[in-house]
Amino acid sequence: MIVFDLETTGLPKAEGSSLDEQPRIIEFGGLKLDSSLKEISRLEFFCNPGHELNSHVIKMTGISDYMLEDSKPFIAYYKELCDWFLGEREMAAHNLTFDRKILRFELERIDKLTKFPWPQEHICTLEIGQKVWGKMRKLGDIYKELFGVEIEGAHRAMSDVEATVKIIEWYTKEEHI
């Protein structure tokens, strides 16, 4: 299973908007887990979006233009990302619909959407949480309720991935997955 999170330049625009208007990945974080949810490997990188970040993104993520200036664009990570996803049956994220959509935008920009090795099974802890809690809940709110503490480094890709893994472990133990 791959659990991943993306930090981006913003939220998706309305369906039908130009691909150039859609957000870009600025940070990828992911953990590859075995069937007992133990870490096999991790992958993380910054992507240079090709333009300055807006102040809201900087404030939320703590990622600055300075941090991205020497980073490569998404296309430079494509092969490594494919190799890392290849052969995995499951992928998971807290808001998988969002993360999958942003990854799709990046793949469309480089004409690789149909060549990407998408895992067949998708696990969204936001959707599972809606069944568990009766409403959509932010990652940090679920984490705090379950574990009594804030996510250290929230809104950074790997911190959010590690929190999502702990929530997946809890959902699995409680038989929600």
Q: Any idea what the CATH number is for the domain that residue 67 is in?
A: 3.30.420.10
pLDDT in tens, 98-135: 999 999 999 999 999 999 999 999 999 999 999 999 99
The number of distinct structural domains making up the chain is 1
Whether 9 is covered by a domain: the verdict is yes
10 Å CB burial of residue 35 (0-12, 13-18, 19+) is exposed
Question: How many CA within 13 A on the CB side of residue 152?
Answer: 2
Asked whether residue 117 is assigned to any structural domain, the reply reads yes
Distance CA 59, CA 110 (A): 29
How much is the average pLDDT of 69-75?
97
Whether residue 22 lies inside any domain: the answer is: yes
- On whether residue 131 sits in a domain, the answer given is no
Any domain includes 149 = no
3-state secondary structure of 25: strand
**Could you tell me the pTM of the whole model?**
0.95
Strand partners, 139: none
169 part of a folded domain: no
Domain that holds residue 95: 2-124
Is position 151 within any domain? no
With respect to residue 106, please indicate whether it lies within any of the assigned structural domains: yes
